[in-house]
Structure formats: structure tokens, C-alpha cells
Amino acid sequence: MTVELVGTAEHPPPTGEFATLYAQAQRFYAHQMRLLDTHDTGRWAETFTDDALLHLPSRPAPVRAHTALEDYARAGAARRRSAGGSLDHWVGLLDVRPQTDGSLHTRCSALAYATPGRGGPKALHVYVMEDVLVRSAGHWRIAHRRVTRDDLA
């Protein structure tokens, strides 16, 4: 049986260029979440543009730029360390949509799970992340991120 890949305007068939962009987006998220999980808050903040906006379900207003992002991540890291164990993230179901301006609009699910000092991991939250990735100094960076709880997305 032969399966033919047919694309639509919304979902074009895979091409070499698209496959490269998709792989770059996957690597970006693997790297970014690892920085967050290891509390490398400075380098995590650098994965955002200087004027980036980050909308979070727990905050009434978006968090702006590197300093605020780094402060936000550092406070979260301190809370996790004081609680013991670790908090890690898994990103999947990645959808990548290249835009005519060269940016990538992405949507993915992010699972936050805790690994306490004893026992196995426990899923805490599932989120939907919608990002606009742009090229900056040769790297993908987030210009805008909206995080929504999956049960409210």
C-alpha cells in the first residue's frame, strides 16, 4: 500500500526546508526547557527577544523583557529548590507554521511534572504554549509567548 502525502494551504506537505525549520524548532524547545529545568535563568531569559512579551495564566499582566523574565524564572527556581525535588517540563505536539516575514508561529503542549525526593514523577499541569519565534543574532528567540492552561485553552 502506498500512502501519498497531499498538502493543503494550511498544512503543506513536508519539504526539506520545512523539515529543517521543524527540527530547529524542536531543538529550540528542548534547549529552552532544559535551561529552565536546570535553573539557568540568565540563559533562559536570553531565549527571548529584548522586547518579548510573556503571558502567563498566573499573572494579570504580561512579563516584559529580559530582566523581568530572569527575575520570574529565578523566583520559580528558588520556590522549587525550597520545596525539594525537581520540576521538569516535557514539550510535545509541536505545530510549526512558517510565516512570510520569516518568523515561526508555533503551538505545543507543555507538561510540568514534579519529581519529589521520594517516589516517582507526578504530573502537575498541562499547558498550551503559543509562540512567535524570530531570528535574532543567528538564533531563534521568542518575541511573544502565551501560556494557557490546557483545560482552559
Give CATH for domain 16-152: 3.10.450.50
Q: In the structure, what pLDDT confidence band is assigned to residue 117 with cuts at 50, 70 and 90?
A: low
Q: What is the pLDDT of residue 108?
A: 96
Q: What is the arithmetic mean of pLDDT over 19-40?
A: 92
Question: DSSP string of 3-71?
Answer: ------SSSPPP-HHHHHHHHHHHHHHHHHHHHHHTT-HHHHHTTEEEEEEEE-TT-SS-EEHHHHHHH
Which residue type is seen at 147? V
* pLDDT tens string 86-100: 778 899 999 999 999
Q: What is the arithmetic mean of pLDDT over 133-137?
A: 94
Q: What is the pLDDT of residue 30?
A: 96
**Which among 47-56, 59-68, 121-130 has the top mean pLDDT?**
47-56
Query: In the chain, what are the domain boundaries?
Result: 16-152
- What stretch of H or E contains 116? none
pTM: 0.80
Q: What are phi and psi of 8, to 5 degrees?
A: -125, 175
